[in-house]
Chains A and B, each alone.
Chain A
Amino acid sequence: MNTVLVTIISFALIGSIAGVILFLIAKRFRVVEDPRIDAVQEVLPGANCGGCGYPGCRGFAESCVKADSLSDLFCPVGGNSVMEQVAKILGKEVVQKEPQIAVVRCSGSPEHRQKTAFYDGAMTCEIASALFAGDTGCPYGCLGLGDCVKACTFDAIHINPETQLPEVIDDKCTACGACVTACPKGIIELRKRNKKDRKIYVSCVNTDKGAVTKRACDVGCIGCKACVKVCAYDAITVENFLAYIDPIKCKLCRKCVEVCPTHSILEINFPPRKTADAAAGKEVSEVTTT
C-alpha cells in the first residue's frame, strides 16, 4: 500500500514539475507569428509538393502573407479556387491563372525509335543523361528511366511498359511542375488545360535537321512546316527544325494533326473524327489512345 502511495505521489510531483518547466519554456521562447499564416496554410492543399516554388505549403503561406500582391504567387495544385480563398483571408486582389497540365513531348517508343545501345548503369535519368545522350539514335528523346515518376507526389505520371514512355493521368495531374524540373531532357511541358482535357501538341523536342531526326525516330518532328501552312490561327512556329504549337493561340481545330507526315502532333481526348476515310487519321488515333 505504502509503495503504491509513494509511487503515485512521486509521479504526480515529477509530472507537475515538468509541466511547470514546460510552461515556462513555452512562455520564454514563444515565437510570435502572424495568425494569418496558419489560416492560409489551412486552405492550402497540404501536399508540400513545391510546385509554387516555395519549400512546402507553410513557406508559401508565409510568402502570401508577406507579399504586397498575390500576382507572383500561385498554388498550381489548389488552382484558382484555393487562391481565391487565400486572397479572401488576406484581403488581397486575386489573380486568375489558366489551369495547366503536364504533357510529355516524346513519342519515341521502341517501335518508332531503334535502340542503339544498352544502358547498364543506375536506373535514373539524371545519371544516365550525365553519361551519354541516350540509348537510341535520338539524343533529345525520353530515356524512360522514370525520374518524372519519382518526382511526382500525386501519382499522376507513370511509365507505360509497352511504349516505355511516361504518361500523365489527366485527373491526377496538378501541374505542380515537379516532373518538368526532374526531366533532364526538358521533355515535359506545362500547357494550358483545355475543356475535357483535350490536348494538341508536338510530341517531340528534337532540334536536328529533318533527315537526321527521321533516321533516329519515325515519329519525330522534321520541321517540314506543313502544320504552319495549315494553321489558321498562326499558332505554330518552327524553330531549329522543330514545330511548337502555342497553347494559348491554338483553337484545337486539329488540322495540323492531319497534315503532319510523321504523326508527331498528337490529339488526345478528342471524339473520333467524323470523316473516317483518312487512313492517316486512324493511325494517329491509335498512337494517342495508348
Chain B
Amino acid sequence: MSSTNQLTVAHSPHQFGDDSVQKIMYRVLFALVPAFAVSLVFFGLGALIVTGVAVVSCLAFEYLIARFIIKTKPTLWDGSAAVTGVLLAFNVPSNLPVWMIIIGSLVAIGIAKMSFGGLGKNPFNPALAGRVFLLVSFPAQMTSWPVVGTRMNYLDATTGATPLGIIKEGVQNGQPVSELLAEIPEYSQMLLGNMSGSLGEISALALLLGGLFLLWKKVITWHIPVSIIGTVLLFTGILWGINPEKYADPLFHLLPGGIMLGALFMATDMVTSPMTSVGQIIFGVGIGLITVLIRVFGAYPEGVSFAILIMNAFVPLINKYVKPKRFGEVVKHG
C-alpha cells in the first residue's frame, strides 16, 4: 500500500466487453472467405491477383496517408483497410489490370476514407466509391467480365456478358424475357455462382453463408439485408405481374449482380449506414427501390453500387429524424 503502487482512476464503468474494432473487421474478412473461394474456383488466377493487389494497395495507401499526410499513428491492423481492399476487388471484373486496381484503391482509401478523417468518418462506402470511380472512368474494362472457368488466364481471359446485361439488352431490343432466359445459366447454377460477373458477387449461396455468420456474430443486424432484398422482390414482383414478357421475375433479380454482396456486406457497412433499426429499414428500402429503378429503367444493367452510394448520402438525414424509442417518452394518450 505504498505510494509506489499507483492506483488507476477513471470514470465508471470499470469493466468492458471483449469486442473490438479489430474483431469486427476480421469477422467481416472471415465472412468473405466462402465467396472468395467460389471466385477462385471460377476465375482462378485473375481472382487471386485482383484481390491481392487491391488488399495490398489499400493497406499501403492507408499507411502512407496516415503516416505522411495526416501524420497520425497508422492504424493498419484494425483491419478496415483490408476489408475495403477485399470488397473493392469483389466489385470489379477478375481481369482488371493492376494499375486500375491501384487507382481504385487510391480513390477508395485516399479520397473516400482518409480525406474525411479516416476510420469511421467517411460518409460513403470507400470500396463502392472506388468501384464507381473505376466504372465511370474505365467503362469498357469495368464491364467486360471474364466467363467462368478461365482459371489460368488473367488479362487475356475470354469475356462475356452477365445475365443482367443479356436481359437488359434483349429487352431493349424488344425480345421477350421468356426467350432471353434460355441464353442465361439456370437459376441453380447462378445460385452457386456459375456465371459471368464481378469477382466476388457471383455466388449468392457463398455470400449468404458469410452473411449468416455475420448475423450470428452480431456484426450486422437483419434490418438492412432483409429490407433491401424484400424491396427488390416486391418491386420486381409487381413489375413482373404487370408484364412478365417485359420484366424478369423477382428471383432472377436476386441471383446475378451485386444484390447479395451489396445487401449483406456493402450496405451493412457500419460507418455508412443509419444508427437506428427504423432508419436502417428506410435505408434498405431506398437501396432496393433505386437498384430496381436503375436495373429496369436506367442506362446501366446493374445499379446496386449507385443505389448504396445515393442512400449513403441520406444517412445523416435519416439519423437526424429517426431517433430510437426513448424510455419513458411521454405518450399523449398514455
Specify which chain A residues have a CB less than 8 angstroms from the CB of B7 in the assembled complex. Answer: 117-118
B3 touches A114 (CB 8 A): yes
Specify which chain A residues have a CB less than 8 angstroms from the CB of B8 in the assembled complex. Answer: 117-120
A120 touches B9 (CB 8 A): yes
Specify which chain B residues have a CB less than 8 angstroms from the CB of A114 in the assembled complex. Answer: 3
A135 to B7, CA, bound (A): 9
B3 touches A119 (CB 8 A): no
B195 to chain A, nearest CB (A): 43
Report which B residues bind A (CB closer than 8 A).
3, 6-11
A119 to B10, CA, bound (A): 6
What is the 8 Å Cβ interface bit string for chain A, positions 89-127, against chain B (1 contact, 0 not)? 000000000000000000000000011111111100001
B9 touches A131 (CB 8 A): yes
Q: Across the interface, name the chain A residue whose C-beta is closest to B7.
A: A117
Which among A116, A117, A131 is the interface contact of B11 at CB below 8 angstroms?
Answer: A131
A118 touches B11 (CB 8 A): no
Specify which chain B residues have a CB less than 8 angstroms from the CB of A131 in the assembled complex. Answer: 9-11
Q: In the complex, how many residues of chain A place their beta carbon closer than 8 angstroms to a beta carbon of chain B?
A: 13
Report which A residues bind B (CB closer than 8 A).
114-122, 127, 131-132, 135
B4 to chain A, nearest CB (A): 10
Specify which chain B residues have a CB less than 8 angstroms from the CB of A122 in the assembled complex. Answer: 11
B9 touches A115 (CB 8 A): no
A114 to B10, CA, bound (A): 19
Specify which chain A residues have a CB less than 8 angstroms from the CB of B3 in the assembled complex. Answer: 114, 116
A135 to B6, CA, bound (A): 9
B13 to chain A, nearest CB (A): 11
A71 to B6, CA, bound (A): 52
Specify which chain B residues have a CB less than 8 angstroms from the CB of A120 in the assembled complex. Answer: 8-10
Specify which chain B residues have a CB less than 8 angstroms from the CB of A117 in the assembled complex. Answer: 6-9
| Closest A-B pairs by Cβ, 10 of them | A120-B10, A121-B10, A118-B8, A117-B9, A120-B8, A118-B6, A121-B11, A117-B7, A131-B11, A117-B6
A120 to B8, CA, bound (A): 7
A119 touches B11 (CB 8 A): no
Specify which chain A residues have a CB less than 8 angstroms from the CB of B9 in the assembled complex. Answer: 117-121, 131-132, 135
10 more CB-based (< 8 A) A-B contacts, given A118-B7, A119-B10, A132-B9:
A117-B8, A117-B9, A118-B9, A120-B8, A122-B11, A127-B11, A131-B9, A131-B10, A131-B11, A135-B9
A121 to B9, CA, bound (A): 8
Specify which chain B residues have a CB less than 8 angstroms from the CB of A119 in the assembled complex. Answer: 8-10
B67 to chain A, nearest CB (A): 22
B207 to chain A, nearest CB (A): 40
A115 touches B6 (CB 8 A): yes
Listed A/B pairs (23) with beta-carbon separation below 8 Å = A114-B3, A115-B6, A116-B3, A117-B6, A117-B7, A117-B8, A117-B9, A118-B6, A118-B7, A118-B8, A118-B9, A119-B8, A119-B9, A119-B10, A120-B8, A120-B10, A121-B9, A121-B10, A127-B11, A131-B9, A131-B10, A131-B11, A132-B9
Q: Across the interface, name the chain B residue whose C-beta is closest to A130.
A: B11
Q: Across the interface, name the chain A residue whose C-beta is closest to B14.
A: A120
A118 to B10, CA, bound (A): 8
B16 to chain A, nearest CB (A): 12
B9 to chain A, nearest CB (A): 5
Q: Across the interface, name the chain B residue whose C-beta is closest to A135.
A: B9
Q: Across the interface, name the chain A residue whose C-beta is closest to B3.
A: A116
A122 to B3, CA, bound (A): 24
A195 to B120, CA, bound (A): 51
Q: Across the interface, name the chain B residue whose C-beta is closest to A134.
A: B9
B10 to chain A, nearest CB (A): 4
A282 to chain B, nearest CB (A): 30
Specify which chain A residues have a CB less than 8 angstroms from the CB of B10 in the assembled complex. Answer: 119-121, 131
Q: Across the interface, name the chain B residue whose C-beta is closest to A115.
A: B6
Specify which chain B residues have a CB less than 8 angstroms from the CB of A118 in the assembled complex. Answer: 6-9
B311 to chain A, nearest CB (A): 31
Specify which chain A residues have a CB less than 8 angstroms from the CB of B6 in the assembled complex. Answer: 115-118
A117 to B6, CA, bound (A): 5
A82 to chain B, nearest CB (A): 37
